[in-house]
Amino acid sequence: MTNFEETKKQFILPEGMIYLDGNSLGPMPKNAPDKIHSVLTDEWSKMLINGWNDAAWMFQPEQLGNKISRIIGAENDCVVVGETLSVRVYQALSCALRETRKRKIILTDSGNFPSDLYMAQGLIELLKNQFELRICEPDKIHENLNSEIAVLMLTDVDYRTGRKHNIAKTNKKAKDQGIITIWDLAHSAGALDLKLRDWDIDYAVGCTYKYLNAGPGSPAFIYVNPKRIDQVKPSLMGWLGHQSPFDFSLNYTPGKGINRMKIGTPPVLANAALAASLRIWDMVNMTDVRLKSIELSERFIGGLKNTCPTLKLASPTDAKKRGSQVSFYFENGYPAMQAIIESGVIGDFRSPNIMRFGITPLYILEKDIDLAVDIISNVLNKKLWDKPKYKKRKFVT
Ligand SMILES: *Cc1c(COP(=O)(O)O)cnc(C)c1O
């Protein structure tokens, strides 16, 4: 059993703050400064260039990837870390498009994150519009899966409402029709009990600064199904994905297995923070996390239902269809969220009218949920948000 009192102690959380925004940026692990400091003082400053060999910096992408594998229920040696999520989406999709023959449609849904859609649009333009991006409603995916579809590219959990797909079922339906599948796990990795080993997904990507708590701008990851990695032709052919980068050959030969998905130089300092956060994940069982997340979410929804009738649940009421966030529609959501934040509960806002709260069992306990419910209902019931200072929009909402 995961001890959540113990995991909570592994994070720095400002006194008096209830942090319900770990779906957007996780808090700092207590061991992160020491870990980063040691990379600076014991490795970079002393070893300089030798750090690539002596501190094994060059092998971070696959070593950290193997730790993420466990969290997403994947085999060893099928995940590498590096770059940002937007780049990983582009990488996965461009590899997938190289595999297609006659089919020309990329199917996605309107619940996908804009960056994923923009990456697809840019790639399609580059390929002289021979492919089409078809965007349907999330609940219409199944009826749109047919023999015309080349690639199914979806984000598992909707960033606004927390509505979750059924990866196992949808992926199987797509694969049965010969469709290549790409899943974005941005709001799933570290939140849900994923079973990539069992699902026969082709490509998956995700970031590490949300539920995985590796810090602002921490690197992304990409998974490729180990059954087919040897047939995958890289499209972002960086030197570190080459079979033997230090031969400096003028021509590209893909590296062995997942190594071919590496692109450029690993972000060593950012990887230090990721290594620090992954040490906490060693204490954690994902089945426990999912159960606890559902328990806490139900408590939060139930509490606000009783005390705050003005809030309308934007997330699915059925916990099985929800990721690990709870969202509400509220017309004055922006000022309300600013007032709630000033009262010590941190959530965020997504246009036009969604208030989001991330539920993260690693550092949120029942008593935090109960206190958050009290604070939120106090702000809303007394209309404490109705002040000009809360209405001015910041750049990041
Ligand atoms: C957070 C998120 C991103 C962000 O991509 P970055 O390149 O890390 O900025 C992309 N896609 C989805 C689905 C996300 O949730």
Q: What is the pLDDT of residue 4?
A: 98
- Using CB distances shorter than 6 Å, the residues near ligand 1 are 84-86, 113, 115-116, 155, 159, 184, 186-187, 207, 220
Cα of 205 vs centre of ligand 1, distance in Å, is 10
CATH of the domain at 183: 3.40.640.10
Residue 161 within any structural domain of the chain:
yes
What confidence category does residue 397 fall into, taking pLDDT thresholds of 50, 70 and 90? Answer: confident
Both tokens of 11, joined, read 């994070």
Annotated catalytic sites, by residue? Answer: 113, 184, 209-210, 356
- Which of 283, 312, 341 corresponds to the end of one domain? 283
Query: What integer is the mean pLDDT of 97-121?
Result: 97
Do 249 and 317 belong to one domain?
Answer: no
Question: Does one domain contain both 58 and 192?
Answer: yes
The residue range of the domain holding 221 is: 33-283
Same domain, 193 and 301: no
**Residue linked to tokens 């998974």:** 223
CA-nearest residue, atom 2 of ligand 1 = 186
Shared-domain flag, residues 99 and 19:
no
Give the rounded percent of residues in the chain with a pLDDT score beyond 90. 98
Residue pointed to by tokens 């087919």? 228
CATH number, position 303: 3.90.1150.10
- Same domain membership, residue 120 and residue 260: yes
Considering the domain architecture, whether residues 138 and 126 belong to the same structural domain is answered as yes
Instruction: Tell me the per-residue pLDDT of 358-385, one tens digit each, with 9 for 90 and over.
Output: 999 999 999 999 999 999 999 999 999 9
What torsion do the CA atoms of 74, 80, 83, 84 make, to the nearest 10 degrees? 0
* 277 and 322 assigned to the same domain: no
- Number of domains observed in the structure of the chain: 2
Phi then psi dihedrals of residue 239, to 5 deg: -65, -30
Are 166 and 263 members of one domain? yes
Q: Is residue 396 part of a domain?
A: no
Which of the listed residues 234, 251, 283 is the one where a domain comes to its end?
Answer: 283
Peptide bond into 352 cis (omega under 30): yes
Same domain, yes or no, for 246 and 267?
Answer: yes
The CA distance from 328 to 311, in Å, is 6
| Residues 125 and 270 grouped into a single domain | yes
Can you tell me the distance from the alpha carbon of 152 to that of 134, in angstroms, rounded to the nearest whole number?
Answer: 10
Question: 250-290, pLDDT tens digit by residue?
Answer: 999 999 999 999 999 999 999 999 999 999 999 999 999 99
Per the listing, tokens 């849900």 go with 192
Question: The pTM is what?
Answer: 0.98
pLDDT in tens, 210-262: 999 999 999 999 999 999 999 999 999 999 999 999 999 999 999 999 999 99
- Looking at the fold, whether 276 and 292 belong to one and the same domain comes out as no
Q: Going by CA atoms, what residue is nearest to atom 1 of ligand 1?
A: 186
Together in a domain, 324 and 344: yes
